[in-house]
Amino acid sequence: MVQGTDAPVPKPVDPEKLRTREPRTPLDHFFYGTPSEIARRVRDKVGDAPVDTVYFWASIGGMPEKAVARHIQTVCTRLAPLLK
């Protein structure tokens, strides 16, 4: 994410911190958890609003390709059915 720049390497992401952190603004966070946990958080956030599309990020800069592929598969095969 910072290769080729003079920027310092960011600290590693702490998954437990992401699980427990509450959003402060609509764009300063993302949810991290199991498909069931994420489906519940999305439903809680959306409520009764007529939502057609929800975007999911399956990678964070620097993640290995195999992990990204596994996350995409999880979103498509385990999370999407929970949100139908």
**What pLDDT does residue 27 have?**
66
**What pLDDT does residue 74 have?**
95
Intra-chain end-to-end CA distance of the chain, in Å: 34
C-alpha span between 46 and 41 (Å, rounded): 9
Ordered per-residue pLDDT tens for the chain, 84 residues: 677 898 888 777 777 777 777 777 766 677 778 999 999 999 998 999 998 888 888 887 777 899 999 999 999 999 999 998
Looking at the whole model, is its pTM more than 0.75? no
Which residue has 């964070």 as its token pair? 60
**What pLDDT does residue 73 have?**
96
